[in-house]
Amino acid sequence: MATFSVYQKKRGAIFIFFTLLFIMLFAGCGKEKSSSDPDVVAVYDGGQITRKEVEDNIENLVQRVAPDMIEQIKNKEVYKRLIQSMAVDQMVKAKIKEKKLDKKDNIKHALKHISEEININEMHSRAHDSKIKVSQTDIKIYYENNRETFKKRPLNEVKEDIRDILQEKKETEYFKSYMEDLKKNAVITREDRLLKVPVPSKTDLKIFFEENRTKYGGPKKSYSDVKDQVLTDLSKKKEHKWFKQNKNRTLFTIHGKRHTVGEFYEEFNELAFSEQEKYQTYDSKIDLLERIIQRLLVVEDTYDQMLDTETKEEVSHAREDILKQLLHQEEVDDKLEIKDDQVKAYYEQHKKEFKKPPRVRISYIRIGFGQTDDEGQRAKLKVKEAYKKLKPGFFKKGASFENIAMEYSEDPETAKNGGKLDKWISEGENIIEEISSHRFHEKVTGLSKDEISSPFQFNGSWYIVMVKERKEPEQVTYEDARDHIKEALLQQKHEELTYGMGETLLKQANLIIFDDIIESMLKNK
């Protein structure tokens, strides 16, 4: 279950990498010749790419990536690059087969879970469509029986809330009954005692403490100071040893099919750490065993009826994506390494760039443009009037910024405090936020302390800003910059290795693209 949820999170990234890889690959790859078969668009070592396959991929690309860019996508250059990516995809599959990735122990279990999860999800969906329906009559009856709860609100206002309540109730009842029926008709044997890991004795704990004194603080720490941690550590060690010793013993059977202690422990270790913490005691492990048995009963019940053509195809695609992810990990991710001396060298070469931008605390006056031309004109006159009071001219003392802010500013949060904004303002690291705020930051971070800006426009309002406090740019130390540099260098190396992998596979494909077939496809569009 845990493995499949990780797969779901990464699936989008894998799709983008392997479907849009052609964007990275230069268009010149692939020799251009004429085809003797009007249905074949390209050939490569070990196979061919047909007109229909290209059309299906173009349609998929349009729907999933860029539905509003159909005209830009349907041109010769994009077709050729897509064909290149299709050839690379076939070479990836060949590489997976050559390396026998689906035979590796650490992936076989994940692949098994994929089909299980898809079947369970499909069963759940079909049950909702056919057996867990909430009718309008159900909603009206519930409404009439619970009028006081809704405090005289009309039915049309609370209809969807009632639907959710009834849906949840029906779902709980249906699946409870469904599981009871499965258990009633199943032949199950269990050896729960095999999950009872021996508890460490006091003698065991003290011996373990003495053997690992350095780990627990050396001579300064007594056993009583750290006994809880000693118990946790030794219990985990004993648990691991117990499950290893008993891994081949039968924990339970369903209809004669045996499931071992080792398989249970594998399921346990696939859980997220926070989930594992819930199953540390014997009783909680029995609860986990019950969950596993329930899941297997559902899988067994749904396997034959759910694996229709559509579901089989989904399982196949899901398995492919997992294997592509594993290949990418072996060919790219596992080769990523940036050493400390590389990070240090980069910092020294770019030291001038590692500066914290200037920061300012400000007070400001904001006057909205309004919705009409007349309101816009009034706003313009109002901001000019406020600015004139602040900067009346040579040899004249301007009014207090706080007083003018309280009188003129239309910002409800700051006007009452004389326009004061508590937070520091500077250029940010978040690119999206910085794009939207850059013009404002540019106007205010260049001001000196106590300097007042001339009126400027930003996001539908006029602003006058006064800098109350200012901090000049500061050099970022190597210690503060190190993690950011390392992350950036890893990302750069990741892109280089990814590009290199795609380029190598494309060369190995010996791809030949038939221009005349592409041109005929485009003419028919």
pLDDT at 106: 62
The pLDDT of residue 402 is 95
What is the model's pLDDT at position 195? 95
pLDDT at 282 over 50: yes
User: Among candidates 354, 333, 350, 334, which has minimal Cα distance to 342?
Assistant: 350
Better pLDDT: 20 or 272? 272
Q: What is the mean pLDDT of residues 286-306?
A: 81
Gap between the Cα atoms of 336 and 43, Å rounded: 33
Give the C-alpha separation, 275 to 294, whole Å: 18
Residue bearing the bigger pLDDT, 421 or 394: 421
Min mean pLDDT across 13-17, 138-142, 286-290, 359-363 is at: 13-17
CB atoms within 10 A of CB 413: 9
- Give the C-alpha separation, 112 to 116, whole Å: 7
β-pairing verdict for 512-514 and 31-33? parallel
Over 60: is that where the pLDDT of 369 sits? yes
Q: Residue 178 — very low, low, confident or very high, per pLDDT cuts 50/70/90?
A: confident
Q: What residues pair up with 257 in beta bridges, in sequence order?
A: 254
| Nearest C-alpha neighbor of 346 from the set 163, 483, 521, 251 | 483
**Contact in structure between 369 and 379 (CB atoms under 8 Å):** yes
Q: Is pLDDT at 12 greater than 90 in this prediction?
A: no
Provide the whole-model pTM.
Answer: 0.51
Contacts of residue 200, Cβ cutoff 8 Å, sequence gap at least 6:
208, 231, 234, 235, 238
How many whole angstroms separate alpha carbon 133 and alpha carbon 143?
17
Average model confidence (pLDDT) for the chain? Answer: 84
Instruction: Give the whole-angstrom CA distance, residue 251 versus residue 195.
Output: 8
> What is the per-residue pLDDT across 248-258, written as a single tens digit (0 to 9) for each?
999 999 988 99
pLDDT at 52 over 90: yes
What is the pLDDT, as a whole number, of residue 269? Answer: 87
Q: Is the pLDDT of residue 418 over 90?
A: yes
Question: What structural domains does the chain harbor?
Answer: 2-99+504-523 (no CATH), 105-191+249-331 (no CATH), 355-475 (3.10.50.40)
Alpha-carbon torsion, ordered 42, 48, 51, 55, to 10 deg: -100
Q: Please tell me the least confidently modeled range out of 152-156, 318-322, 480-484.
A: 318-322
What is each CA distance from 219 to 74, 209, 213, 232, 453, in whole angstroms? Answer: 74, 11, 7, 20, 65
Range of lowest pLDDT (148-157, 311-320, 412-421)? 311-320
